Amino acid sequence: MSRAVTAIYRSPVVAQLVREELEQLGIGRSAITVLPDAAGTVSGLATAETQEDAIDRLHDLGLPEPDARTYQQALRNGDHVVSVEVDDDSYLGRVQEIMRRPEDAYDLDELDTRYAGADYIPRRQGYADTGTLDQTGTGDLASDGTVRVVEERLAVGKREVEQGAVRVRAFVREVPVEAEVDLRSTRVYIERRPVDRAVNPGDIPLGEQVLEARESAERAVVSKEARVVEEIGLRSETEVQHQTVQDTVRKTEVEIEDERTGERSSLTGGTTIPGGSGSSGAI
């Protein structure tokens, strides 16, 4: 769905820089409106004629009257308006970033408050982008002499966007660990005991005698066993969220005034006769 982004700048140079950056982003020149355009300025300053043309062209942007009043007053004060139609929502964030240009852009909320009491300027009679005049001089006619009633319809579609990824990565690393164990050891000591007694028959050795004892000690023996202690996987679930999309659409409203009878009627019904009762009905 097409969206319009509009901003006000003090300098025509900055307004042109914004246009160039939008074109570099991929926005077509036909989708960008600069008011007043640099072609109608003298030494960067808009003439009275170009200001009036810019105010008239402002009506083509389809702005609500309170917003249009702010932009009209800004143009009358010599400021510059840049408006861009964005058809691709993927460009919207970047377009808004370019349009802000904090070194030269106005705070629109502050301007709305300042210009709340400014006069609203309607479109000049006979002005039309096609360069033709209609029968009444107050509206745009098609080539066959009829008024086109245009109505926007809100179409809500869906597109899948990436929200990020969950990634599980397994790798091996060594970490220091500790374990306690009690180790025993056997030591051999020579003991000498002084004695003083008579020799018994068995005390006299008949040959070589050997007395032997061995020392021993326990040593820690390390072995490792790999065991699976946990399993990790990924599971995706689809959730459905009901969302109400709110936006605005534009439509053409037609009022018909018959100066011969003083009757007024509209597409939504009602014929008003001065001094009498109204007859209901739709055209």
Taking only the tens place, the pLDDT of each residue in 116-166 is 888 888 877 544 443 333 333 344 555 666 777 777 777 777 777 787 888
Query: What is the number of other CB atoms lying within 10 angstroms of the CB of residue 278?
Result: 13
Helices (DSSP H) in 115-207: which residue ranges?
Answer: none
pLDDT at res. 105: 63
Beta strands in the chain (DSSP E): 3-9, 32-35, 41-42, 45-46, 80-86, 185-186, 216-217, 255-258, 263-266, 271-272
pLDDT at 49: 64
Percent of residues, the chain, with pLDDT higher than 70: 80
pLDDT of residue 50: 77
For residue 276, name the pLDDT band (cuts at 50, 70, 90). Answer: very low
Question: Which phi and psi (to 5°) does residue 9 adopt?
Answer: -130, 150
Return the bridge partners of 186, or none: 216
Token duo for residue 43: 């030494």
**Eight-state DSSP code of residue 118:** S
What is the pLDDT at residue 58? 85
Using the CB atoms, write b or e for 70-79: b if 16+ within 10 Å: bbbbbbbeeb
pLDDT of residue 221 exceeding 60, the answer is yes
Indicate the domain borders of the chain. Answer: 1-124, 125-155+245-252, 253-283
Q: Which tokens go with 91? A: 């460009």
pTM of the model: 0.43
How confident is the model at residue 254, as a pLDDT? 82
- CATH number 2.60.40 is the correct assignment for the domain at 1-124: no
Residue of 114, 37, 118 whose CA lies nearest to 73: 118
Q: Alpha carbon 148 to chain centroid distance? A: 36
